[in-house]
């Protein structure tokens, strides 16, 4: 065998089993403006073989009042062939609900409108988020075409804001019940957060709290849903994920709930290889997967 041939064959074999490399990150893409405020996203693109990449829109957490698009834990999925758009949206000190949902739907419309430019598959879009970001991701996912929640943000209102799957990491789902389910510690976090989100407490703003609750919107045609939640979460009650699980099951929709036993609110265990493998499997079953490498 010619010298160097074994090493070449090893590299060739590894090419079939190792994840694809990240191709590029396109930072600070402006997807909309609201008054003087510019809304931006970072688009993390995988290396591809010329096929459009499936897209995950990532929504950061932070009690709806803080956080940024720099916080995204899905880099391992980019290496596996998914594009990830990490999106900034108006935070509640600036604008209350439903501004955040209007912004996120505008981001989906922007990405769908610009899919050819960025090598994205417009019919294979998932939305995912953590904590308050998971609440917003679920709300975007189950309210396609909702008159009050679509908003008029951005230049691509002819495009659909529909997504084809939802992944919720320890998110809220019912703002009408969340306080009754919360621990004393959780109340200390949630009461001021809801005050900013709704400009009042759910009992004082019942119609708005219901509008902001994904469980109130679940119905036929909603996309498949994956829920991951720690069963010892002191901040976001695990009952919030269970309520959304129940709403999906009642509607006969595709849903999977993955409890992390002993886990609290967030942490590396939610994004380790085991859990991200579950996410990959879920997305593939929903038809949101990279084309096989040739």
For residue 214, what are its two tokens? Answer: 């994904």
Residues 143, 101: contact at Cβ < 8 Å? yes
Written as six digits, the tokens of 238 are 């695990």
- Residue from 236, 232, 255 nearest 244 by CA: 255
Maximum C-alpha span of the chain: 79
Helical H runs in the chain? 5-17, 75-79, 99-113, 115-118, 132-141, 147-150, 178-181, 184-198, 206-211, 238-251, 273-285
How far apart are alpha carbons 259 and 7 in whole angstroms? Answer: 43
Q: Which residues, in sequence order, are CB contacts of 245 under 8 Å at separation 6+?
A: 227, 255, 257
Residues with a catalytic annotation lie at 131, 233, 265
């Amino acid at each position: 065998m010619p010298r160097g041939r074994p090493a070449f064959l090893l590299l060739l074999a590894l090419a079939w089993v190792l994840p694809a490399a990240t191709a590029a990150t396109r930072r600070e893409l402006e997807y909309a403006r609201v008054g003087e405020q510019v809304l931006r996203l970072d688009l993390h693109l995988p290396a591809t073989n010329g096929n459009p990449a499936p897209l995950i829109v990532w929504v950061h957490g932070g009690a709806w009042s803080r956080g940024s698009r720099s916080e995204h834990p899905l880099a391992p999925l980019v290496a596996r062939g998914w594009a990830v758009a990490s999106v900034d949206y108006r935070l509640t000190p600036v604008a209350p609900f439903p501004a955040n949902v209007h912004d996120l739907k505008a981001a989906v419309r922007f990405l769908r409108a610009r899919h050819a430019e960025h090598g994205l598959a417009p019919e294979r879009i998932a939305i995912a988020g953590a904590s308050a970001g998971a609440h917003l991701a679920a709300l975007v996912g189950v309210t396609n075409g909702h008159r009050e929640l679509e908003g008029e943000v951005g230049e691509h209102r002819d495009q659909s804001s529909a997504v084809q799957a939802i992944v919720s990491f320890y998110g809220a789902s019912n703002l009408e019940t969340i306080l009754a389910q919360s621990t004393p510690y959780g109340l200390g976090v949630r009461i001021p957060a809801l005050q900013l989100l709704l400009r009042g407490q759910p009992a004082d703003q019942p119609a708005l709290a219901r509008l902001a609750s994904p469980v109130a919107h679940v119905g036929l045609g909603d996309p498949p849903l994956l829920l991951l939640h720690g069963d010892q979460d002191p901040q976001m009650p695990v009952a919030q994920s269970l309520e959304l699980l129940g709403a999906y099951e009642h509607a006969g929709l595709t849903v999977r709930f993955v409890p992390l036993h002993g886990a609290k609110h967030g942490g590396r265990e939610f994004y380790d290889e085991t859990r991200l493998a579950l996410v990959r499997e879920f997305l593939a079953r929903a038809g949101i997967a990279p084309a096989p490498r040739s």
